[in-house]
Amino acid sequence: MTKKITKTDAEWQAQLTAEQYRVARQDGTEMAFSGEYYDQQLSGSYQCVCCGTPLFEAEKKYDSGSGWPSFWQPVDAGNIDERVDVSHGMQRVEARCKTCDAHLGHIFKDGPQPTGLRYCINSASLQFKPD
């Protein structure tokens, strides 16, 4: 079982940029096509910006046309918490980091095979580690 990381708001604010804090700690969303990683095509892996938990591999990233980094499979599904999100007048599945509870984005069932899933993730919630 993963050890949970908890910090005060002041500690998160000291660690993160204002945009990272707004998205990852306050459940925000960056504007489409504005994030650092939405069209990045480098080899490597993506980790939680708050705690470094491995989340996605670049080889499982694809261009969904949505304007956010999209992945069809996480490194380990156990690293991502799924929650029902009924904000904005619709029901969606929210993706959160299991280790630190950072808001990552949402999961949709319109992705490519073999999973059919689209993990639509905010760049501000990620840090990239090149191979």
Q: Does the reported pTM lie above 0.85?
A: yes
Lowest mean per-residue pLDDT among 1-10, 50-59, 77-86, 98-107: 1-10
Encoded tokens for 2: 């993963």
| Burial track 51-75 (b if 16+ CB lie within 10 A, e otherwise) | bebebbbbebbeebeebbbbbbbbb
**pLDDT of 2:** 65
User: Tokens in use for 110?
Assistant: 């319109």
d(CA 32, CA 106): 13
Out of 50, 51, 100, 120, the active site residue is 120
Place of tokens 């992945």: 71
Average pLDDT, integer, range 56-71: 97
Q: Which domains does the chain have, with CATH numbers?
A: 9-130 (2.170.150.20)
- Over residues 86-92, the mean pLDDT reads 83
120 is known as an active-site residue: yes
String of b and e for 100-120 (b: at least 16 CB within 10 Å)? bbbbbbbbbeebeeeeebbbb
Averaged pLDDT of the chain: 95
Runs of H (alpha helix) within 1-113: 9-15, 18-20
